[in-house]
Structure 1
Amino acid sequence: MGSPARLRPYMNDNGPLILDGGLATELEAQGAHLQGDPLWSARLLHTNPQAVRDAHYRFLLSGADVITTATYQASVTGFINHLDLSSEGARELLMSGVQLAKETVERFVSDSRPAGQRCPLVAGSVGPYGAFLLNGSEYTGAYAEDMTVEDLKVWHRPQMDCLVAAGADLIAFETVPSIKEAEALVELLREFPNSKAWLAFSCKDGKCISDGSLFTDAVQIANRSPQLVAVGVNCCSPVLVAPLLDSARSLLSPDMSWVVYPNSGEEWNTKQGWLTSEKTSALIPELSRTWMKQGAALIGGCCRIGPAHIAELRQQLKGSCTSPASAV
């Protein structure tokens, strides 16, 4: 895509951009055993990088304009603790998440010529500190009560540095549950002035993010950063998206768009895992036009959303893929 400075024009010319779905969901569908793993899908950067490439490629074939790296639960500290790597080895492994994604995009573009016209982007995933804690607190933000903004910046800085150094097209701050962590990420982004990002919150209902703060206040935090191209929600039920966006529609900066990628709407149980339901996943394509009318420029899916769902979403919003191998 080139310089991050051209990201906004690219979005305007090609929007809405279709995001991928749940990377871990697709990896598990292909046989990976991730549940309960302290590194989640990031472990496969070390043990099976080809599986990560293949999952990225399936989302590209299904119509994704943006693929997100397998680094949501990755951290230098986590790789040192759980893989017995050196600090430098941990940094290299984290950077490999971007490199694998970029290689996969290059392969996709090469395979789809001359018919292909898409040039997909790579978003470097930065999950919340709660994901490292492995206690479900990424959906409460409770940990932030005992941390300062500076503490959170110190935690996120190594991950951010690796993703930027590896050449991610933009950064995806994902599943952020607290206002304080959002403040830390917005401040940290200033240390990387040539980078662009989106900021997506986990939300508990149609008005509040996970720590109980109003979504309107979260959007105002995002408005402080000219480097953010989008603010929004991820990993919540699809039915919460429209009311959340509605609640803050008058506050969204003219230079900002919405980013939306909910989960399937199924319920997560810490002991049983996902409680499946027939009624849920189809809601994303069904509701996506509403979100687009509300100003969403980046739309995709999160947990339990696979390539077939993304293909349906693309068909709903943009017609069929331009890739000759798009009939997935």
Structure 2
Amino acid sequence: MSVQDHQKGEYKLTAISAPRLYGILARDARVGVILRRGPNQWVQLVRWDLRNDTLEHGQWLKGRVYEKRCDLSPSGEYLIYFISRMDSKGYCGTMVSKPPFFTALAYWKHGDNTWGGGGVFDDENCIRLNHLADEQELADGFSVPSYMRIKLFGENSGRGEDGYVYHHTQCRDGWVLIQEGKGHYASAEKGCSWYYDPVRIFEKTNKYGFKLQQIWRWTARKNRPFQEFDYCILDSNNQICLQLHNLTWADWDQGDLVFAENGCLYRLSCEKEGYFPAIEKQFFKLIYNFRKNSFIPLTPPPQACKW
């Protein structure tokens, strides 16, 4: 059952292409960010206060931010992100900023390719870079505080695409691989470069014992987001409570499900502890329709330009 079935009359789809949304939630605070991608060469950073679902719409950046090579510090104060520019400079690099601003506090160059790059916060005072050994020097004019430790992923650092950093953050944040699945290459004529049969499944349990399954079916389908997932919620008896298809992101916010579909951000709350609403009683709160956003230049305040 799609969200639209629950939300009839709440909003209408328009001819505007839906932006692609991806969420990153902090580990130790109820804050997060939304990366809003679209038009193709632009991305907007939005800070999200999950306590009351208020959004602070931040800077736009021209370039490709690889969302699965990004991470928030445990407090949510800092974002580390990997970018390839879409302009004549054509550079790639890993940067640290203060959401909702992309303005770089730290910048590590990564050449002109997107193999490797990105990083994670091991804790509030330690950054782990997915860079080669000769790519861990900061670019000229940038610095990090003396308390901030910088290290590499290990002997395989600087390699891989999204999977290397993404797998690390998935495991750290409570997702468990319960079915490996099997990947297959498909020709471009079939509109998909990679598909799983059987599917790959990750699972994450919320504080009430409900399981959120992330189901991998395909990657790089023609005219679709690079990676989409199906999601399924199971109760303690492994009975299906909810199924959602072709999403770019979903996660637990404590007991609630938060997810993005068709350019909109939603929340589904449990009515009481240990109880998941029956399908006919499920209410999807529309937090925000990101189709409404358009480019507005935004100058960062002084506090966003320093550690």
Q: TM-score, structure 1 length as denominator?
A: 0.29
Specify which structure has the bigger relative contact order, considering alpha-carbon pairs within 8 angstroms and separated by 6 or more residues.
1
Whose strand fraction is larger, Structure 1's or Structure 2's?
2
Which structure features the higher share of helix residues?
A: 1
- Which of the two has higher C-alpha Rg? 2
- TM-score if structure 2 supplies the norm length? 0.30
